Chains A and B, each alone.
Chain A
Amino acid sequence: METQQYESQLERDVLAAMKNPGWRYYVALGFSLTCFAIGMISWGYQIFKGMGTAGIMHPVSWGVYITDFVFWVGIAHSGTLISAVLFLFRAKYRSRFNRTAEAMTVFAVMTAGLFPIIHLGRMWRSYWLFPYPNQMMIWVNFRSPLVWDVFAVSTYFIVSIIFFSVGMIPDLAIVRRMSTGFRKRIFSVLSLGWQGTKNQWKHYNKLYLILAALATPLVVSVHSIVSWDFAMSVVPGWHTTIFAPYFVGGAILSGTAMVITLALPLRKIFSFEKYITTDHFESIAKIMMFTSLIVSYAYIVELSLAFYSDNIYEEAVFRYRAVGDYKILYWGMLLCNSIFPATLFIRKMRRNLSYLFVVCLFVNVGMWLERFVLIVTSLAHEYNPYSWGLYYPSIVEIGITVGSFGMFFSAILLFVKSLPILSITEIKEEISK
């Protein structure tokens, strides 16, 4: 009887989160949409006036746009880690975060996907990135890491959407059951007429397992491929073999930080303390600590490789990072990604959720800085001193970056009020055991 009460309470609580947004919600949504509008206006201005409005120019031709791209793809990663990898490992705490994490993945990949197109300049030709038989009789160059990226990111996007929507089908049927009128009609269609019959569950369980198994290699592969955009070139500071694991570690670090950044306020707003406990947050914080160690280790290895290489260009770039024009960003990155997360080794601090939230915000900032430092310093200080130069993002680039955050958070806010944010069925299954 107790389980039944818990189940119906859970359903009511999750459904309650989807109802009647208060004024705070509208203020938050309004703010996010304004940021998004700023981004769109900036992009429109760039399209209208040309790429000269962006700060990227010789020698730094990859700037904030590529930084944003790598940042958002990285954010997407831990969504798949939590939903797929932890599913395969049967980690129980996953069920409290997976819906938020999957939504985060989908929206982050959507945001990320815009940046290569923004960076292209003539974005109306972006479809040239895909191989298709055409009148010009030319194909894309499959040896180029940028084409690998197109394949990796679009596959990732499609698989994430499938995973997100399939995982929600039984929950959508619950929403259907508990709503009336027009809303019931909508959720009847969205839940595809799910009933939970023997046959449906049999294939559903199998599908979920298969999708988890398919998404798991993507966690590793997508950011590895993104890292090869850099590592395949001969630019000092980029051309190293550790880039793939270094990027994957970084991606999961930033992603788990973002999951906590999103889940903590949601828990507070919807009073989900009963369902998402401090223990659950602690488990995610441990993943964050672990990946922070990987990233810190990568920083050390990167430096050591440069200084043992006896290659003056490699050495120069790393010296430039630490003491050159962008040194504040470099040390800020170390502080945010290595020092702050290290404090979480103290159990009391990791269980102090306000402190954890602050650390996560720092990690988010730190991971953005990491990509910026990595991309810009190498290009600004390449081989030939004659072509050294500095890069500062222009107002258009800053506007578009603000817009990307606006887009992401607007999507998250709309998701929160339109779909169940906890995986009701999975929590029920877990409780019944």
Chain B
Amino acid sequence: MDKIVCETKELFLEKLRDLVRREIPEKEISYIIPYPVHEIDEILETEPSKLSVISFGGGFVGAVFGFLLAVYTVYSWPIISGGKPMISTPAYVIIAFACTILFSALCSLAGFLFLSKLPDIRQIASPEDYDNKFVILVGQEELE
């Protein structure tokens, strides 16, 4: 595995372009950077994160759960209150809405931790830091 340490963002981007020009498979190029650099997207074709699917799934489940919870509980002891129908949709939509956001946020967090393999026990035990430098790792697929 090759490790290229760059002092500046510009140098990092240049080295990255260079690697792509040398036709090194993009899968083998990884990096460690101190802050997000959006120019990378123009150089490397990174697959979009699958996190949105998880968030959507969580939100959908939340919406269904919230609404059904209200419907189930009201029928578990059916009694009319305030002259309103058993299934008072506008009221239950508010519950469904809150549950959508809650479930989606929790699923997104869990999904993020799972996809980005955090918490990383090895790094917690002995952290490896590169200061404010940009590091390119070539030939290491493990980090992917």
- Interface residues, chain A, with chain B CB atoms under 8 Å away: 1, 3-4, 7-8, 11, 131, 137-143, 147-148, 151-152, 154-155, 158-159, 162, 166, 170, 173-174, 176-177, 184, 188-189, 192-207, 210-211, 214, 217-218, 221, 225, 425-426, 428-429, 432
Contacts and interface: CB of A to CB of B under 8 A. Distances in A.
Chain A at the B interface: mostly helix, strand, loop or mixed?
helix
Contact of B8 (A3, A211, A225): A3
Given A189-B124, A193-B118, A199-B116, A139 B73 contact: yes
A184 to B, nearest CB: 8
A240 B52 CA distance: 38
Contact of B91 (A142, A174, A177): A142
Given A142-B70, A151-B95, A158-B106, A217 B112 contact: no
Interface in B65-93: 66, 69-70, 73-74, 76-77, 81-82, 84, 88, 91-92
B110 to A, nearest CB: 10
A199 B46 CA distance: 9
B24 interface: no
Given A199-B30, A206-B52, 5 more contacts: A142-B73, A162-B109, A195-B120, A198-B143, A425-B34
A241 to B, nearest CB: 14
Given A177-B131, A203-B49, A194 B97 contact: no
Contacts of A214: 55, 101, 104-105, 108
Contact of A198 (B81, B82, B144): B144
Interface residues of B, number: 63
B54 to A, nearest CB: 9
Contact of A142 (B74, B111, B112): B74
Given A4-B8, A143-B88, A225-B94, A162 B123 contact: no
Contacts of B33: 196, 201
Contacts of A159: 101-102, 105
A214 to B, nearest CB: 5
Interface string B37-54: 100000000101101100
